Amino acid sequence: MSTTPDPASSAPSAALPATPARGRGRKGAERREALLDAAEEVLVAEGGPEWTMRAVAAAAGVRLGHLQYYFPTHAELVAAVLERVLRRSAERLAPLLSADDAPGAAAGVVTTLLAEQEDARLMRLFVEVWALAARDATVAAAVRGFYGDYRTQVAAFLARRHPDLPEEERRARAGVFIMLIEGASLFRSGVAGERDAATDEALLRTALALLGP
C-alpha cells in the first residue's frame, strides 16, 4: 500500500549518525553482523551502563581494535545497533498493518503483537533502548521516528477499515493503540508485572475496540 511507510527508509536510520561502510563484501558484512549480535547480547545481559566497547569486543571474542575498525566510536556502535533493532521491528509490523480488510485482520494484528511480548529477550532489548533514549537525545530522536512511522501505519490501517473516520480521530486512536500495546509489554513480559488470562482478555477487547469492529 502506498500509505504504508517503507521500513528501509524509516526515520530511525535518518535520525542517527551514519555508520561508515567498513568491511565491504560478504565476509565483512558477516563480521559486522556478528559484532552487532555481540553488542545486543551485552546490552540485554548487562544493560546500558556496562555497554562499553571493551565489553562488546570481549563478548565477540575479538580485539578492541577489530571492533573499532567496523565501529570507530561508541556512538557509531550504538547507532548501528539501534538502527538494526528498529528496522527489524518495522519489518515485522509492516506486513501486519498493510494486510487487506479481511475478516479477523484486526484480531490478527493484536494477537501477533501480543505474542511478541512473550519473547523475553526482545522485550529486554526494547527496555534498554527506551532507557538509552531517556539519556541520549540522538537515540530519543530515532525512537520517536520509529514510533511516528508505527503510528502512521496504524492510522492507515484504520483508514482502510473506517474511511468515514476523520483523520484526526484515526491518528488519535492509532496513538492510544500504540500506548496500550507498548505499555502492556512492560507488564506482560514480566519486567513490571505478570500476565494473567483475565487481563489479557480485557486487553484484547480494548485494543480491538480501538481498531474498530
Distance (Å, rounded) from C-alpha 9 to C-alpha 188? 31
What phi and psi, each to the nearest 5 degrees, are found at residue 145? -60, -45
| Cell of residue 208, nine digits | 480491538
Q: Is the pLDDT of residue 16 over 70?
A: no
pLDDT of residue 23: 53
CB 182 within 8 A of CB 174: no
Instruction: Give the alpha-carbon dihedral of 122, 132, 44, 148, to 10 degrees.
Output: 10
| Cell of residue 81, nine digits | 545497533
Distance (Å, rounded) from C-alpha 148 to C-alpha 183? 16
Mean confidence (pLDDT) of the chain:
84
Q: pLDDT tens digits, residue range 77-92?
A: 988 998 898 888 888 8
Distance (Å, rounded) from C-alpha 25 to C-alpha 91? 24
What band does 9 get if pLDDT is binned at 50, 70 and 90?
very low
What band does 96 get if pLDDT is binned at 50, 70 and 90?
confident
Instruction: Please state the pTM of the whole predicted model.
Output: 0.78
Region for residue 25 given its phi and psi (left: phi exceeds 0; alpha: psi -120 to 50; beta: otherwise):
left
Average pLDDT over residues 176-196: 88
Q: Which of 6-15, 80-89, 195-204 has the lowest mean pLDDT?
A: 6-15
What band does 119 get if pLDDT is binned at 50, 70 and 90?
confident
Q: CB neighbours of 4 closer than 8 A, spacing ≥ 6?
A: 94, 97, 98, 153, 156
What band does 203 get if pLDDT is binned at 50, 70 and 90?
very high
pLDDT of residue 5: 37
pLDDT of residue 11: 40
Between 4 and 85, the more confident residue is: 85
3-state SS, the chain, equals CCCCCCHHHCHHHHHCCCCCCCCCCHHHHHHHHHHHHHHHHHHHHHCHHHCCHHHHHHHHCCCHHHHHHHCCCHHHHHHHHHHHHHHHHHHHHHHHHCCCCCCCHHHHHHHHHHHHCCCHHHHHHHHHHHHHHHHCHHHHHHHHHHHHHHHHHHHHHHHHHCCCCCHHHHHHHHHHHHHHHHHHHHHHCCCCCCCCHHHHHHHHHHHHHHHCC
Q: Percent of the chain at pLDDT above 90?
A: 40
Average pLDDT over residues 66-75: 92
Q: pLDDT tens digits, residue range 132-180?
A: 889 889 889 989 999 999 999 999 999 988 999 999 999 999 999 999 9
Average pLDDT over residues 46-69: 91
Q: Is the pLDDT of residue 17 over 60?
A: no
